[in-house]
Chains A and B, each alone.
Chain A
Amino acid sequence: MNPFRYILRRLLFGILVLICVVTITFTLSRSLGGNTVAAWLGKSASMHPELAVLYAAKYHLNDPIPIQFYYYVINLLEGNLGFSPSRGFEPVISVIGTTLPFTLQIALFAFLISVILGVLLGVVSAKYQHRTPDTCIRAFYLAGYSSPPFFVALVLLIVFAFKLNLLPTGGAFDIQLNSPSIITGLPILDAAIEGNVPYLLSALRHMILPSMALALVTFGVLTRVLRSTLLDVMHANYIRTARAKGLDENTVFFKHALRNAMISVVSISSLMVTWLITGTIFVENIFSYPGMGQYVVQALVGQDYPGILGTTIVFAVMIVVTNLAADILYAIVDPQVRLG
Chain B
Amino acid sequence: MKPNTRTRLFGSLRLISRNKEALIGTVIVVGFILTASAVTLSNLFGIQLTPYNPIAQNVGPPLAPPSSAHLLGTDVGGRDVFSRIVVATPNDVAVSLVVVGVALAVGAMIGSIAAFRGGLLDEVLMRFTDVIFALPALVLAMAIGIVLGVGVTNMMIALMIIWWPPYARLARGEALRVAHQNYIEAARLSGIGTMKILSKHVLRNIIVTMLVYATLDIGTVILVYSGLSYLGLSVRPPQPDWGEMVSAYQDYMLTAPWLPIIPGSIIAMGVIGFSLLGDGLRDMLEAR
- Residues on A close to B: CB < 8 A? 13-14, 16-17, 20-21, 24-25, 28, 31-32, 142-143, 146-151, 154-155, 157-158, 162, 274, 277-278, 281-282, 286, 296-297, 300-301, 303, 305, 308-309, 311-312, 315-316, 319-320, 323
Contacts and interface: CB of A to CB of B under 8 A. Distances in A.
Contact of B147 (A31, A316, A320, A323): A31
Nearest to B134: A17
13 contacts: A14-B134, A20-B135, A142-B275, A149-B227, A150-B243, A151-B267, A155-B264, A278-B227, A281-B139, A281-B227, A303-B146, A319-B136, A320-B134
B140 interface: yes
B144 interface: yes
A143 B267 contact: no
A145 to B, nearest CB: 8
B143 A25 contact: yes
Nearest to A296: B142
Given A28-B143, A143-B268, 16 more contacts: A28-B147, A147-B267, A148-B267, A150-B230, A151-B268, A155-B261, A155-B264, A278-B139, A300-B142, A300-B231, A300-B232, A308-B142, A312-B143, A315-B136, A316-B135, A316-B139
A143 B272 contact: yes
Summarize A's interface: helix, strand, loop or mixed: helix
Contact of A148 (B136, B223, B275): B223
State the main secondary structure of chain B at its contact with A: helix
B118 interface: no
Interface stretch (B69-77, B102-110, B169-177, B247-255): B247-255
Given A142-B275, A319-B136, A147 B268 contact: yes
Most chain A C-beta atoms within 10 Å of own C-beta, residue among B130, B138, B254: B138
B93 interface: no
Nearest to B136: A319
A147 B266 CA distance: 9
Contacts of A155: 261, 264
B232 A301 contact: yes
Question: Closest 7 interchain pairs by CB?
Answer: A151-B264, A146-B271, A147-B268, A278-B138, A146-B272, A312-B143, A17-B134
Given A28-B144, A162-B253, A300-B146, A146 B265 contact: no
Contact of B138 (A20, A32, A142, A281): A281
A147 B264 CA distance: 8
A219 to B, nearest CB: 15
Given A147-B271, A300-B142, A300-B232, A274 B136 contact: yes
Contacts of B231: 281, 297, 300
A312 B253 contact: no
Interface string B225-248: 011001111000000000100110
Contact of B140 (A143, A281, A312): A312
Nearest to B264: A151
Contacts of B143: 24-25, 28, 308-309, 312
Contacts, number: 120
Contact of A17 (B131, B139, B276): B131
Nearest to B223: A148
B257 interface: yes
Nearest to B271: A146
Contacts of A21: 135
A146 B275 contact: yes
Contacts of A311: 139
B219 interface: yes
Contacts of A323: 134
A125 B72 CA distance: 37
Contacts of B130: 13
A149 B228 CA distance: 12
B219 to A, nearest CB: 6
A19 to B, nearest CB: 9
B134 A142 contact: no
A149 B136 CA distance: 16
B280 interface: no
B139 A315 contact: yes
B90 interface: no
A282 B264 contact: no
B217 to A, nearest CB: 13
Contact of B246 (A14, A146, A154, A319): A154
A296 B228 CA distance: 12
B230 A282 contact: yes
B260 interface: yes
Contacts of A278: 136-139, 227
A300 B271 CA distance: 26
A312 B268 contact: no
- Most A CB within 10 A of own CB, among B144, B219, B233: B144
Contacts of B142: 296, 300, 308, 312
